[in-house]
Structure formats: structure tokens, C-alpha cells
Structure 1
Amino acid sequence: MRGLHGKRIVVCGGATGIGAATAERLAEEGCRVLIGDVNAAGARTTAERIADAGGAAAAAAFDLADEDSVKALFERAVTEFGGVDGLFNVGADLSLDTIGRDANLSQMDVEVWRRTLEVNLIGYAHTCRAAIPLLLANGGGAIVNTSSGAAFVGEPLRPAYAASKAGVNALTRHIASRWGKEGIRCNGVSPGMVLSETGQAQMSEEFKAAGLAGTRSTRLGRPADLASAVAFLLSDDAEWVNGQTWSIDGGASLHD
């Protein structure tokens, strides 16, 4: 893709799944990638896999829910690469203790809501805030945030998760509106059912069959499907795309 070679990209949540696949795709395109994740061992494994393939990557332990940790991650990017040209936010708290207890509103657990918003939304705000001055110093750059179809489909469960992702969409539009004229593009991707190495093990065959039946595609998603879309949005080929959230879901959702 045009204009990715040599770019310095921070992937927030790159230890496994979509984040790892995207980090690898960006490295294949010639980017230098800093992979941050609360799963530090997984981040190192991804970085080592990239290095073994001839790419440039570094790994760092960081926590989206910790503002100081976010600051340290971007300081590491400046130390390691001399600056930042792009950011991909993909981390979220998908633990059973959080999303597994995200029941309907009548059974609301306030601590689940606090934790979900702290990681999935406020964490993204922290990373974007840290990245924006570094992007402006280069005359601009690109941010891609990970959303979810839960933001607009109206599920009977997971209201905290859905609210956090609707907030990510609003954050994406805000950044594009406020800094677009200064050369910063901010877009989002909304994954459908993606068979990652961790998620696939938790899905029954019946669940996967139901997911496939709800798409307009011949298969369920793969992390590489999102990786290619994110790489495009971070590249110069997408220089006239700003403030959008794209559903990458095999046609499961059809909306304007």
C-alpha cells in the first residue's frame, strides 16, 4: 500500500488476534511497529515473530486502564523510533469477569460498567490524546479505533460493552472533526465474528454456524481481514477517508 513503508505505528493491544495480525501486516508493509499489551509475553512473541520474518518491531507491557502506562508506551515509541506516525487501538477488556457479567440493565453491575468504560473507551481517549501531539509534530498522521456492531444493533445483553463502543465511534468522529484540518485522520473498524486463536476455542460449532448464517459471506472472519482494512486506513491510500467507522463483518450488517 502507498505510503506505509517506514511509518512508525503503535498497536495498542497487539499480543494476539486482530492486533497481532495487524502488527504483522503493517510490518510486512515496511512499518516499524511498537506492540503494547497487558499480555506482555504475548506482545513479545508477536514482536519476535515479526523480527524473525525480517520486520521491525518492539514490544512493551502496558495497560489501557492506566494513564501513566499509556504515557510510558508513547515515550517508548519516541525513544525506539523517534516519533509516531499512526495508532491502532484494538485492546478491550473481554474477560469473563467483565464482559461475562455485563447483563441487561435491570441486573446492572456498576463496577462492570466502570471497568468496561475505563478500558474500552477512556483508555482509547488516553492513547489518542498521547498520540495526537506526536502526529501533529510530523504534520499529521492516522488513528484507527476498533469499534463493534454492538454499538448499533441493540443487543439484549452487554449494554456496557455496547455503550463503550458507541463512545468509541463518537470519539473517532470528534478527533476527525477537531484535527482533520491539521492533517490527522481518525477512523474505526467494526469487526464481525472473527475466528482468532483464542476466541475460536471458546465458540461451539452451533455458535459459529449461527454466526455464519447471519452473514452475507461464505465464511466467518479472520484476523487478517481486519488487518488489511486497518493497514489501508493507516496508509496514504486512505488519505481522503476521515471520521468513518467501517463494518468489516462479511456483510452481517447493512446500514448507511
Structure 2
Amino acid sequence: MFSFRRYLLVLLLPLLLAGCASYKKSVYLRHDQVLADIEQQGKLYEYRIMPKDELIIVVSTSDPASSVPFLRKLGQNKEMSQNSQGTGNAKLLNYLVDNQGCIDYPVLGKLPVSGLSCRQCEDLIRQKLEAYLNEVPNVTVRIDNFKVSVLGEVNKPGTFTVTDERINIFQALAQAGDMTLFADRDDVQLLREDSIGRRQVIHLDLTEAGIALAPEYYLQQNDIVYVKPTKAKVRSNTFSNNASIWISLLSLASTLASLVIIALQ
């Protein structure tokens, strides 16, 4: 009896170890003590404007007429910006950041904004406008086309619009309905293009709490997050796809074996 129990334990031990390893790879943010042990700067994240961003810029003054030359609306061009007649209720046009990192702003001309936060961009435009106005204007800058994409082993893959200028990797996964149970959580791939067009693939281990300290924790405009399937999922799909073939082969082999046995009788 003792030998049988020991033999049974030997058979079950690999399954138990595999279960523990699988559980460890299925949870997020293990070893969270690292966040308390490492001194953090405590600085809130601010998105930096990049080429191809579209900016919504609104200028307000106590005298609305004085700010009209600095607003470009749908149906206006640069020459019409001095006169707002017929466009009072029109939608404001976005400002596209060109490949050189500049926007073409009415009256002020080319303004370099790449690398600035929205707050810094507001300060830049406010300072430039002071020379044309008798007061310090109120300037608001927002990103209008901030999008990230999540695909792979998630429940709702897709492209998602970000409205508050920042999103971290876990918020993006939450938008995509979280990872499936067959997701490889310790090697999530992030495809990123920087401000000068260089592309790189960054590997992220979401099972470790240290990911919250990584510079890639917050996503940038047009980032693509790819969640790989586990090897078990790939093997399962391969078996499922080939199951009909194996069943046919086994059926054929069984038929041939039956014919051989009948022939030998």
C-alpha cells in the first residue's frame, strides 16, 4: 500500500508543480513590495506632444472679438480668420503637428510644439498672444486623436480613443476586456514608434509589480499592445485543427485492421 501511495504521489507531483507554475503566470503585479522599497520621484505623468498629433486649441478673452483672429473654424482659411461672419457656430479646426514638430497657427505662424506637454504648449501660445492682446488670454490645448490598439489574447481587441491624455498598460487591457486565461502575461509585446519614426518592440512582464516603475507603463499615441497566447493554447488549437485528420486516419487504420483479421481467418 505504501509503495502504491508513493507511486501515485510521483505521478501527481508534476501536475501539482505545473499547476503552481501556471497560477504564478496568471496573476498580475506579484512582489509588490518593490514599489515600497524603491524611492520614487512622485511626479505625475504628462504626455508629450508628437508629430501627427491633432491639437484642439481654444483662446478666450474678455472681449470675444479680440480672439477671433486666433481661432480657425470649419469653412475658414487663414485669410478668412480675421472675419468670423457666418462661422459663429462652426466647429473649431484641429491643428496637425507636422513632421518637424510644428503647428501652423493663425497670425503667429509656425510654432514648435513637439516635446511639450499640453500645459507647456498653452504657456507658449499665451506668451505669443500677449503681444497682440491687451490682456493675458485663457488658452486651452487638448489632444484630439490619442488612440491605442490592443490585440491578441484579450476578450475585446480593438483600437481605443483616450480622452484624458494618458493611459497605462492595465487601463488599456481593461478597455479590451482584460486578458483571457490563455494569455502570456509575462511577455506582453508593445510596438511603439517614437517622434522621429523609429519603431521598436518592447517586452513587458505584467506579472511583476515593477512594471509600474517602467517608462513604458504609460502608453503613447498609436501604441500597439499585443498579448501572445500561451504554448498550451497553441498546442490545443493545433490539436483541435488536426483532430478530424487523426480521427480519419484512426478510422482508416481500424478498417484496414478489420479487413486483415477477416482475411486471415
Normalising by structure 1, we get a TM-score of 0.24
Larger Rg: 2
Normalising by structure 2, we get a TM-score of 0.23
User: Which structure shows the bigger proportion of residues in helix conformation?
Assistant: 1
